[in-house]
A and B are shown apart, each in its own frame.
Chain A
């Protein structure tokens, strides 16, 4: 019987050894993406008796969509300021000194349960040696106005699932589409969330800086974002997925839809933006042909993702 033990063990070792390891699927999904869920302080600004703390996911501002949490503390009383009529304005200066802004929430509302002012900012470029960003924050306490500005750093977004695009629509307006979720998609139905914004063209030339009329952006309301995901890899032959749902606006102001990714890898989200009356603002339909060996289709309006 001892011999048998040995033989059975030997066979067992033979079959379990040196085989291909099974893929760790959960780890596979996080090769290219990291999901951040906690808000950490990006920077804090001190003025008079007040400390303004700005928080974002992972304590970093990235190119693209950023949810912003802002807290103002009175350092003398150690109290949080509520209903302080906080305004928030990111300003970008290029090498020639030209100033511009980006889609942002100007009037920040106070969230009592969470204890912070909630806003967002869609940074359209990264900070570098020639480009810098400054934050202008105004608030009010005891009927007194305070205004501060502070340099910030906008970092490159390495997670392509939070990618963004800026374009001029057929109506000659300037639009921005920024992906908000999912941060880390999976081979599944993914709830796709995007913010769609537009630049409100000023009627008059710029006044004294900062002239708010020059930096006004708003959420695009009631439009539809049609989606057609494709794989760009040539050998995938313009592969797509079924059961995707176009993005429509929900009460949070963001656009929600469904995208199905049938496998991991590079994907192109082809979009068509339509207004309330169904007119195309931007985007072209892409071919649905299966074309092995040829790059996947990319329409005039698209965002590339990778997971």
Chain B
């Protein structure tokens, strides 16, 4: 602990600045560009709602779907693949949840008012941040530029969601001068149980979340800066109606120090290095569930530190980013079961037996403008992944003689070719990549999955999952509208999934058996999406999205959690300072469900949403007021990815007010 304090103190005094692709050649423009990018308005809001949670914002992306275990901390699926297959980072920093039951995806530890953007890359293009199969989700932190004309800026947002009486207050403030930037944000949300389309309360769906962030940047010279960042997140009394347990407390501290150096008259444009540390603790609680036969304590901890160092290079038509990524993670999860006769001995085991993961990888992402109309992107990474299980004897119970430590090499490659002709655009691409099994897949021990009601056992000997990927897109755009279609196809070798084990017996009383993580020979996944938008009039816009996916295992059985045909369509009308949006979204009936993996058929549903916003000024401060309703028809439904078929929220009237200071 002392060491960590020292490390943190050392961290005090630095930066990371926004790091988007830097195109201009002269340094001045480079810096200007950076300033502009950094100054870009934070826009974590959807067309429908201006005060959204991070989850709601992610949901507006066609590549993302969610497994929902309640009203809080949804697990994002990228390309219909669960979080093991994607890398989720905060400004390139790796962070891992501390819950064996996936109650805390990384996206639960940030808040919309400390993010500026979410960068989603599909498939191997996402390998820049580390080995992946599905792609990457990078949560970009807000970062104020130096020397803004407005020294002080800020925003305050407040609102109510009436369905679950969620009250939220989000505030952020930033100070900027030539040498120094300081910024911070605070947010607090508290919600009660939500009610479903039958107006019944969904018990255990309440939550309370507090999040705060701080950032300080100091310009160490004309061409360099230092930045320190910290996020603290605390969730309390969070209910998970789909799970047999709730969360009493979860806390995360996410810190980083970064140093950024620009270069003049050089093909190297910028070098950005960051060291980071984050610690997550997660305490589940079942005292709220007196119906449970067994009382259990299940605390979990995840601690990560790491380094990201990247260089952006540009010469004529060629630009590239070289990134070095290294991290160390320790994941611990305990379970202690209390016997019915409390005078008897408690029963203890590790569900994550102190599993260390170390990763170091070098990645490269290149872009070559072959001509004005065509571009070639290619890149890849090579990583070394090392795992160590301190209490390997837990793993040996099911896998006698399995190695206590394991080193894997994880290569990833991708390429894509883009053509742009007279408003039409086409692209084709391919990728190849490995990923290592996650902590649960490799070393998990009796992790209860309440979806299929099996206890899951990890296998340290699992092979790397190998993905072969092909993607293509075609689109057309003009002044009035546009149409874009995307497809991708994954052939995944050694696809990791739980299979019933003939040995062992359940440990959790709700469980019906034991499953082991096993590699299928292969599985295939196909994703299709189509986006269209059209300006009917100058102030009337239409938008529509259609997605379809199919996932099959080696025996042509359906994979679980694959989104059925889904649609989203919206119409936005603006008149002076008034905006009206109406949207329809839904899934068709889930035909291709997977009984083998615990799914049942989910019927179709449609949601109709409506929102109205009005902009005005309070003493020169731009203010927006919004009121709206989701699920206006109060439809009772649950989606294919609602854990245990828990019903979704019924009609929800929301209102919010945002003041830009």
Which residues in A have some Cβ–Cβ distance to B below 8 Å?
A: 1, 4-5, 7-9, 11-12, 14-16, 19-20, 22-23, 25, 28, 31-32, 186-189, 231, 233-243, 260, 262-266, 288, 290, 292-293, 306
Contacts and interface: CB of A to CB of B under 8 A. Distances in A.
Interface in B219-240: 228, 230, 232
Given A12-B8, A32-B345, A242 B398 contact: yes
B interface SS class: mixed
A264 B335 CA distance: 11
A22 B393 contact: no
B253 interface: yes
Interface in B232-291: 232, 249, 251-253, 255, 279, 281, 283
Contacts of A14: 232
Interface stretch (B316-324, B490-498, B505-513, B561-569): B505-513
Nearest to B336: A23
Contact of A8 (B8, B348, B503): B8
B446 interface: yes
B536 interface: no
B214 interface: yes
B540 interface: no
Contact of A264 (B4, B13, B279, B345): B345
B505 A238 contact: yes
B348 A23 contact: yes
Contacts of B423: none
B396 A263 contact: no
Contacts of B345: 31-32, 264-266, 306
Nearest to A16: B1
A292 B509 contact: yes
Interface stretch (B113-121, B293-301, B365-373, B642-650): B293-301
Interface string B333-357: 0111101100011111110000000
Nearest to B509: A292
Contacts of B293: 235, 292-293
B5 interface: yes
26 contacts: A4-B228, A9-B8, A11-B253, A20-B297, A25-B350, A187-B397, A189-B397, A233-B340, A235-B293, A235-B294, A236-B337, A237-B506, A238-B505, A243-B397, A243-B398, A262-B397, A263-B335, A263-B337, A263-B347, A264-B345, A264-B346, A264-B348, A265-B347, A266-B339, A290-B512, A292-B293
A235 B5 CA distance: 43
Interface in B409-430: none
Given A32-B345, A243-B503, 18 more contacts: A4-B13, A7-B214, A8-B255, A15-B281, A20-B299, A23-B348, A187-B394, A187-B397, A188-B396, A189-B400, A236-B507, A237-B506, A237-B509, A240-B504, A262-B507, A265-B345, A290-B511, A292-B510
B332 interface: yes
Contacts of B336: 23
Contacts of B340: 233-235
A262 B216 CA distance: 49
Contacts of A260: 397
A94 B446 CA distance: 50
B391 interface: yes
Interface string B393-405: 1101110100000
Given A8-B11, A263-B349, A23 B394 contact: no
B397 A188 contact: yes
A265 B296 CA distance: 14
Contacts of B344: 233, 265-266
Given A12-B253, A239-B507, A22 B12 contact: no
A61 B5 CA distance: 52
A264 B347 contact: yes
B9 interface: yes
A61 to B, nearest CB: 26
Contacts of A23: 334, 336, 348
Contacts of B253: 11-12, 15
B509 A233 contact: no
Contacts, number: 151
A258 B501 CA distance: 20
Contacts of B299: 20, 22
Contacts of A189: 393, 396-397, 400
Contacts of A233: 339-340, 344, 347
A235 B137 CA distance: 41
Nearest to B299: A20
Contacts of A28: 348
Nearest to B347: A265
Nearest to A261: B397
Nearest to A293: B293
A292 B281 CA distance: 30
Given A23-B336, A189-B396, A242 B509 contact: no
A18 to B, nearest CB: 10
Nearest to B501: A242
B71 to A, nearest CB: 25
B506 A290 contact: yes
Contacts of A8: 8-9, 11-12, 228, 230, 255
A22 B344 CA distance: 21
Contacts of A264: 345-349
B301 A22 contact: yes
Given A31-B345, A292-B293, A20 B507 contact: no
Among B301, B345, B397, B512: residue with most chain A CB under 10 A? B397
B447 to A, nearest CB: 13
Nearest to B446: A262
A234 B341 CA distance: 10
A241 B445 CA distance: 12
Contacts of A187: 348-350, 391, 393-394, 397
B515 to A, nearest CB: 13
A211 B333 CA distance: 61
A288 to B, nearest CB: 7
Contact of B230 (A11, A236, A238): A11
A257 to B, nearest CB: 14
Nearest to A14: B232
A135 B503 CA distance: 48
A242 B281 contact: no
Contacts of A306: 345
B504 A263 contact: no
B400 A288 contact: no
Given A12-B253, A235-B340, A5 B9 contact: yes
Contacts of A288: 505
Interface in B497-533: 501, 503-507, 509-513
Contacts of B503: 242-243
B505 to A, nearest CB: 5
B296 to A, nearest CB: 10
A239 B506 contact: yes
A231 B294 CA distance: 14
B342 to A, nearest CB: 12
A149 B9 CA distance: 73
Nearest to B251: A15
A25 B11 CA distance: 33
Nearest to B253: A15
Among A14, A189, A242: residue with most chain B CB under 10 A? A242
Nearest to B507: A239
Nearest to B184: A7
Nearest to A258: B400
B12 A1 contact: yes
Interface string B10-23: 01110000000000
Contacts of A240: 504-505
B395 to A, nearest CB: 10
A5 B9 CA distance: 7
Contacts of A293: 293, 509
A15 B252 CA distance: 8
Contacts of A186: 393
A20 B253 CA distance: 16
Contact of B339 (A241, A243, A265): A265
A189 to B, nearest CB: 6
